[in-house]
Structure 1
Amino acid sequence: MEKLNDYRGHARECRRLATLTSREDHRAALIQMAETWEQLAIEREPKVKADEPTLSADGLSAESNN
């Protein structure tokens, strides 16, 4: 999940920087980078969530109860 947060953080930073630049070409590039970071997060989210251990009722990893 940390990587997803990193990807989304990069997207937010690109959008923030886009608001600060006066050059339209830089703004467009930063917005495109933000969209790419966000798309990466969207594409990776199912895999990351599938790889996370699930917890049983006692708070232990369900995988460790086998």
Structure 2
Amino acid sequence: MARVLSFPRITRDPLRCPGIGRDSETPKILVVYLNRAATDDEMRFLHEVLQRAAPSAPKDD
């Protein structure tokens, strides 16, 4: 009978965003502070969320 290999599951802390800010040299750049490095999937998710939310942001009159 074949042996089944099992690999340890990687557990990560839940992703949290304790703050955001602006890049001091380029005002168009938004800096997002996270509690840990985001995975590629999390980065794609956050990008999609921002793309959907940006048009609803308050407008300066």
Instruction: Give the shorter-chain TM-score range.
Output: 0.3 to 0.5
Q: Larger relative contact order (C-alpha < 8 A, sep ≥ 6)? A: 1
Structure-1-length-normalised TM-score: 0.36
Structure number with the higher helix fraction is 1
